[in-house]
């Protein structure tokens, strides 16, 4: 049973972090204590570093952890010491206006481990058993993709046809076009048979009517602004990326009105982890090779620099 302190990445305020010895989380009666094996780094972590998104400080970030159970509370059932576990990091209050109507992801008091509460860039983390899921087949690296996949599945629920490359193909899309600048993400997309890779200047020429669905997932204000030019009349735009808080879009309401364009957003997820585990751990969605770089906790700045260079597809931290 772990006691004492652990090493963690600790922010006292935006931009200011250090590797710090902090108390090992206590394992409550209904909780699992995990020894963290890996924790994925996400574009959201870059926004958290800047003090954006919904981050609260002081904070230990990290919301894509995979770990092994080392301690269990007295009320825990159906888990065992040594089980490999991922967890749904979202926490809803279950009592606000939206929660009482079944919209937990819109919770007025929404919290998330690694965003508003301490997360997985540490040696240990404790989760309520109701948020935890066993992993049988995925590697530690591949398991860091489960939280992003759960968020994509939430987008799939909101968007019909659904969103996601492999997820979209599994759910009925006839054709998928990926439009992005050249780089490692486009390389992996081609390996996954994601579809066409058009040149930007050819995209509209080749698709004069546009697309039924346009998903803006880059988090880049300029690309989001231009996305309305690629959706066909009666189509849907989904805003899926995480943007700077100051980012703004300027779309003519007359176009949205006249073309009957549906504009929707997709934020986080709720109750989507079971399907994410089924898709990925069950082998229906291929995530092999997506984690391209693993950094030690002591070199978190190196991980941020690598992410900002756009030279990595997916980065993970090894505590």
Domain limits, the chain: 5-147+269-318, 160-265
> 178 pLDDT exceeds 90?
no
Q: Tell me: the pLDDT tens digits for 144-155?
A: 999 999 999 999
Stretch 68-77: mean pLDDT: 98
Stretch 87-107: mean pLDDT: 96
pLDDT, position 165: 59
Q: Can you read off the two tokens belonging to residue 144? A: 């860091």
Q: Where are the alpha helices (DSSP H) in 232-299?
A: 253-258, 273-281
DSSP classification of residue 197: -
Query: Which of 86, 89, 76 has its CA nearest to residue 118?
Result: 89
Q: Can you read off the two tokens belonging to residue 29? A: 């009666």
Mean pLDDT across the chain, nearest whole number? Answer: 91
Q: Of residues 112 and 185, which shows the higher confidence score?
A: 112
Stretch 86-111: mean pLDDT: 96
Flag the least confident range among 1-10, 43-52, 179-188, 307-316. Answer: 179-188
Residue written as tokens 């986080």? 268
DSSP classification of residue 179: -
Q: Which positions ≥6 away from 254 have C-beta within 8 Å?
A: none
Flag the least confident range among 103-107, 160-164, 285-289. Answer: 160-164
* SS3 call for 16: strand
pLDDT, position 174: 63
Q: Tell me: the pLDDT tens digits for 195-240?
A: 555 577 788 888 999 999 999 998 999 999 999 999 999 999 999 9
Q: How far apart are CA 207 and CA 197, in angstroms?
A: 13
* SS3 call for 17: strand
H-helix or E-strand containing 98? none
Q: Of residues 190 and 145, which shows the higher confidence score?
A: 145
H-helix or E-strand containing 5? strand 5-13
Q: Determine the Cα angle at 12 with ends 21 and 54, to 5°.
A: 120
In CATH terms, the fold of domain 160-265 is Rossmann fold (3.40.50)
Question: What confidence category does residue 97 fall into, taking pLDDT thresholds of 50, 70 and 90?
Answer: very high
> 9 pLDDT exceeds 50?
yes
Stretch 245-271: mean pLDDT: 95
Q: Can you read off the two tokens belonging to residue 44? A: 């959201």
Q: How far apart are CA 185 and CA 220, in angstroms?
A: 15
- Other CB atoms within a 10 A radius of the CB of residue 180 amount to 14
Q: How far apart are CA 228 and CA 256, in angstroms?
A: 9
Q: Can you read off the two tokens belonging to residue 108? A: 């007025």
DSSP classification of residue 99: G
Query: Which of 265, 288, 275 has its CA nearest to residue 215?
Result: 265
> 47 pLDDT exceeds 60?
yes
> 188 pLDDT exceeds 90?
no
Out of 3.40.640.10, 3.30.70.2470, 3.90.180.10, 3.40.50.2000, which CATH number does the structure's domain 5-147+269-318 have?
A: 3.90.180.10
Q: Where are the alpha helices (DSSP H) in the chain?
A: 43-49, 140-143, 146-158, 165-170, 184-191, 200-206, 221-226, 253-258, 273-281, 300-308
> 163 pLDDT exceeds 70?
no
Flag the least confident range among 96-110, 198-212, 237-251. Answer: 198-212
* SS3 call for 293: strand
> 162 pLDDT exceeds 60?
no
């Amino acid at each position: 049973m772990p006691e004492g302190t652990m090493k963690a990445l600790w922010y006292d305020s935006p931009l200011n972090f250090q590797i710090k010895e902090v108390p090992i989380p206590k394992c409550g009666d209904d909780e699992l204590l995990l020894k963290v094996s890996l924790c994925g780094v996400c574009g959201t972590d870059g926004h958290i570093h800047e003090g954006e998104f919904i981050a609260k400080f002081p904070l230990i970030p990290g919301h894509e952890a995979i770990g092994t159970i080392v301690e269990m509370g007295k009320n825990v059932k159906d888990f065992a010491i040594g089980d490999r576990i991922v967890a749904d990091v979202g926490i809803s209050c279950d009592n606000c206006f939206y929660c009482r109507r079944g919209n937990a992801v819109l919770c007025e008091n929404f919290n998330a481990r690694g965003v508003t509460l301490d997360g997985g860039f540490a040696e240990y983390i404790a989760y309520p058993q109701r948020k935890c899921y066993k992993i049988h087949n995925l590697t530690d690296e591949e398991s860091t993709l489960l939280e992003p996949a759960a968020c994509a599945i939430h987008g799939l629920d909101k968007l019909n046809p659904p969103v996601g490359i492999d997820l979209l193909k599994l759910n009925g899309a006839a054709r998928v076009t990926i439009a992005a600048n050249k780089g490692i993400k486009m390389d992996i997309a081609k390996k996954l048979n994601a579809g066409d890779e058009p040149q930007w200047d050819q995209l509209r020429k080749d698709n004069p009517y546009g697309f039924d669905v346009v998903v803006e997932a880059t988090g880049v204000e300029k690309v989001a602004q231009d996305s309305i030019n690629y959706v066909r009349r009666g189509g849907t735009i989904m805003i899926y990326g995480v943007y700077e808080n100051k980012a703004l879009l300027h779309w003519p309401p007359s176009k949205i009105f006249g073309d009957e364009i549906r504009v929707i957003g997709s934020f986080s997820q709720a109750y989507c982890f079971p399907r994410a585990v089924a898709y990925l751990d069950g082998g229906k969605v291929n995530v092999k090779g997506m984690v391209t770089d693993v950094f030690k906790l002591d070199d978190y700045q190196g991980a941020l620099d690598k992410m900002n260079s756009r030279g990595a597809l997916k980065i993970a931290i090894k505590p």
